Structure 1
Amino acid sequence: MKLSTRTYRGAAAAILAGGMLLTAGCGAGGQADRSSHSGEQRANDGSKPAPVPIAPDGGGGAPAEGVDGGSEGRQKDDALEDSRPAADYLSTFALDVDTASYGYARRTLADGQRPQPGDIRPEEFVNSFRQDYPRPKGDGFSVTVDGARPRGAEGEVDGEDWSLVRVGLSTRPSDRAGERPPAALTFVIDISGSMAEPGRLDLVQESLGILTDELRDDDSIAVVTFSDEAETRLPMTRLKASRERIHSVIDSLEPTDSTNVEAGVRTGYDEAVEGRRRGATNRVVLLSDALANTGETDADAILDRIDDARREYGITLFGVGVGSEYGDELMERLADKGDGHTTYVSTSRQARKVFVDQLPTHVELRARDAKAQVAFDPKTVKQFRLIGYENRAVADEDFRNDRVDGGEVGPGHTVTALYAVRLREGASGHVATATVRWLDPRTRAPHERTGSVETDAIDGALWDGASERLQVTAVAAYFAESLRGGSMPGAPGLGELAERAGTLAKSTEDGAVRQLAEAIRQAQRLRD
Structure 2
Amino acid sequence: MERHRTRRTWGALLALAVAGGLLATGCGGGDDTGAHRAKDAAPAPAYGGGSVRRQDTGGQGGGQDERGFAPDPSADPADALFTFALDVDTASYDYARRTLADGSRPDPSTIRPEEFVNSFRQDYRRPDGNGFTVTVDGARTGAADWSLVRVGLATRDAGPADERPPAALTFVLDVSGSMAEPGRLDLAKQSLGTMTDRLGDDDSVALVTFSEEAETVLPMTRLGGHRGTVHDAIDTLRTRSSTNLVAGVETGYATAVEGLRRGATNRVVLISDALANDGETDPDAILERIDTARREHGVTLFGVGVGSDYGDALMERLADKGDGHTVYVSGTEDARRVFCDQLPRNIELTARDAKAQVAFDPHTVADFRLVGYDDRRVADDDFRNDRVDGGEVGPGHTVTALYAVRTRPGAHGHLATATVRWLDPTTRDPHERSGTLETGALRESVWSATPRFQVTAVAAYFADALRAGEERHDRLPGAPGLTALRARAHDLAGVTEDEAVRRLAEAVGQADRSVG
Is TM-score (shorter-chain normalized) higher than 0.5? yes
1:251 to 228, 235, 239: 235
Cα deviation, 1:148-177, whole Å, max 9, x if unaligned, reads: 0112xxxxx2xx310100000001012322
* Structure 1 equivalent of residue 353 of structure 2: 369
Letter in 1 for 2:45: P
Asked if 1:182 corresponds to 2:166, the answer is yes
Deviation at 1:448, TM superposition (A): 0.3
* Structure 2 equivalent of residue 301 of structure 1: 285
Asked if 1:113 corresponds to 2:104, the answer is yes
Unpaired runs of 5+ residues, structure 2, are 1-19
* Structure 1 equivalent of residue 129 of structure 2: 138
1:426 to 392, 399, 410: 410
**Structure 1 residues 355, 425: CA separation in 2 closer, same or farther (over 3 Å shift)?**
same
CA distance in 2, matches of 1:413, 1:10: 29
CA distance in 1, matches of 2:495, 2:446: 16
CA distance in 1, matches of 2:130, 2:54: 37
- Runs of 4+ displaced beyond 4 Å: 9-13, 63-68, 71-76, 78-87
2:99 partner SS: helix
* Structure 2 equivalent of residue 29 of structure 1: 30
2:394 to 410, 420, 431: 410
* Structure 2 equivalent of residue 129 of structure 1: 120
Letter in 2 for 1:472: V
* Residues 453-468 of structure 1 mapped to structure 2, 5 A cutoff: 453-463=437-447, 465-468=448-451
Cα deviation, 1:101-151, whole Å, max 9, x if unaligned, reads: 000000000000000011000000000000000011221200000010112
* Structure 2 equivalent of residue 266 of structure 1: 250
Q: Is the 8 A contact 2:141 2:445 kept in 1?
A: yes
CA distance in 2, matches of 1:176, 1:107: 32
Deviation at 1:75, TM superposition (A): 7.4
2:422 partner SS: strand
Cα deviation, 1:311-357, whole Å, max 9, x if unaligned, reads: 00000011100000111111100000000000011111211111123
* Structure 2 equivalent of residue 483 of structure 1: 466
Asked if 1:510 corresponds to 2:498, the answer is yes
Letter in 2 for 1:272: A
CA distance in 1, matches of 2:391, 2:40: 23
* Residues 57-456 of structure 1 mapped to structure 2, 5 A cutoff: 66=55, 80=69, 87-151=78-142, 157=143, 160-456=144-440
Letter in 2 for 1:41: A
Q: Is the 8 A contact 1:11 1:118 kept in 2?
A: no
* Structure 2 equivalent of residue 47 of structure 1: none
**Structure 1 residues 173, 83: CA separation in 2 closer, same or farther (over 3 Å shift)?**
closer
Q: Is the 8 A contact 2:416 2:438 kept in 1?
A: yes
1:378 partner SS: coil
Q: Is the 8 A contact 1:34 1:41 kept in 2?
A: no
Q: Is the 8 A contact 2:256 2:266 kept in 1?
A: yes
Letter in 2 for 1:468: P
CA distance in 2, matches of 1:226, 1:257: 9
CA distance in 2, matches of 1:456, 1:381: 13
2:454 to 471, 475, 478: 471
**Structure 1 residues 64, 253: CA separation in 2 closer, same or farther (over 3 Å shift)?**
closer
* Structure 1 equivalent of residue 7 of structure 2: none
Letter in 2 for 1:444: R
**Structure 1 residues 292, 256: CA separation in 2 closer, same or farther (over 3 Å shift)?**
same
Q: Is the 8 A contact 2:49 2:381 kept in 1?
A: no
Q: Is the 8 A contact 2:210 2:243 kept in 1?
A: yes
CA distance in 2, matches of 1:10, 1:505: 36
Letter in 2 for 1:29: G
Cα deviation, 1:504-528, whole Å, max 9, x if unaligned, reads: 1111111101100110110011111
Deviation at 1:79, TM superposition (A): 5.8
CA distance in 2, matches of 1:520, 1:201: 29
CA distance in 2, matches of 1:456, 1:170: 24
Cα deviation, 1:27-62, whole Å, max 9, x if unaligned, reads: 23201123218x6239xxxxxxxx452233999xxx
CA distance in 2, matches of 1:11, 1:306: 16
* Structure 1 equivalent of residue 507 of structure 2: 519
% same residue:
66
**Structure 1 residues 375, 134: CA separation in 2 closer, same or farther (over 3 Å shift)?**
same
**Structure 1 residues 498, 430: CA separation in 2 closer, same or farther (over 3 Å shift)?**
same
CA distance in 2, matches of 1:419, 1:93: 13
Deviation at 1:298, TM superposition (A): 4.8
**Structure 1 residues 74, 117: CA separation in 2 closer, same or farther (over 3 Å shift)?**
farther
CA distance in 2, matches of 1:200, 1:399: 41
Q: Is the 8 A contact 1:34 1:40 kept in 2?
A: no
CA distance in 1, matches of 2:50, 2:228: 67
